[in-house]
């Protein structure tokens, strides 16, 4: 599906040690994963998009 390559699902871990504290940094990856998951579910189960 292209970049970013997401193998099993996105993971975000932040122990407040990174300069970009907060989950906002990972939002795009989670949104992309959710979109791809929904597209595959619709393909497999015949749901209309």
Question: End-to-end alpha-carbon separation of the chain, Å?
Answer: 18
Q: Is the pLDDT of residue 49 over 60?
A: no
Provide the whole-model pTM.
0.64
Residue 5: per-residue pLDDT: 72
Length of the chain: 49
Helix, strand, coil share of the chain (percent; to 5): 45, 0, 55
Return the higher-pLDDT residue of 49 and 19.
Answer: 19
| pLDDT tens-digit map of 3-48 | 777 677 766 666 666 666 567 777 888 899 899 989 989 999 986 6
């Amino acid at each position: 599906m292209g970049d970013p390559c997401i193998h099993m699902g996105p993971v975000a871990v932040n122990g407040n040690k990174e300069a970009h504290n907060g989950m906002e940094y990972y939002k795009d990856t989670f949104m992309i994963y959710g979109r791809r998951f929904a597209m595959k579910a619709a393909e497999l189960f015949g749901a209309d998009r």
